[in-house]
Amino acid sequence: MSDNLARVSLPIDSEPFDSPAPAHRGFRLVAPAPSRRARPRIFYALTAVAGVSAIVVAQLLLSVGISQGAYEISSLQSSQSQLARTAASVSEDLARVSSPQSLAANAEGLGMISNSNPVYLRLSDGAVLGAPASASGAQSGAASLVPNALLTGSTLLTQQTNDVAATAGALAISSAAVVPPGLAAPTTR
């Protein structure tokens, strides 16, 4: 080579690039201390897992408690609607038994007679206004001419209390009005 570049020839026994570093440089391999660092990691991991599972379990218990309450609400609502149905059914029965046909038939079955002759007793001076006359019983004994189809098949109270089998079909009034003999006069004050 004929040029004017300066060359420095390396000695043969110079170190290659990939030889280990000489000790005087101060580098040394330090092995990691796994035991000292690994325990905290596992501890933290276990803590984290335990915490998460505790939260999950707590949420599970809460949702179980809420669902339990929802089941209770549902069953109470259904029993409320059942009771409302019973109440409605009983009110219907009451309205039917309160009808004039039922009342009149039961009254006549007990021996009462309607009286259309009003007489008034004035308490201040004992005066009697009107013309007193005994009840003529004009209304008794007639089967109701104002029918009520809801009462078919129902029984009179007198028949019920006497434990006699109810007459099937229409509400019937016994032809002979039974008045118990010897009714004691009510004591008045």
Chain residues that interact with another protein, rule: CB under 8 A: 17-18, 21, 27, 70, 74, 85-86, 88-89, 92, 95-96, 98-101, 104, 116-120, 129-131, 133, 138-139, 142, 144-151
Nearer CB in complex with another protein: 68/89? 89
Nearest-angstrom CA–CA distance, 72 and 78: 10
Give the nearer residue to another protein in terms of CB position, either 112 or 151. 151
The least CB distance from residue 10 to another protein, in Å, is 19
Residue 71 sits at φ, ψ, to 5 deg, of: -65, -40
In the complex, least distance from residue 14 CB atom to another protein, rounded to whole angstroms: 17
Closer residue to another protein, CB minimum distance, 39 or 85: 85
Minimum gap (Å) between residue 84 Cβ and another protein: 9
Q: State how far the alpha carbon of 133 is from the alpha carbons of 5, 82, 126, 136, 179, in Å.
A: 164, 54, 17, 8, 19
- Which residue, 44 or 120, is less far from another protein as judged by CB? 120
Q: Minimal CA–CA distance to 145: which of 106, 115, 104, 176? A: 104
HSE-up of residue 28 (Cα within 13 Å, Cβ side)? 5
CB of residue 159 to another protein, shortest distance in Å: 20
Q: Strand, helix or coil at 8? A: coil
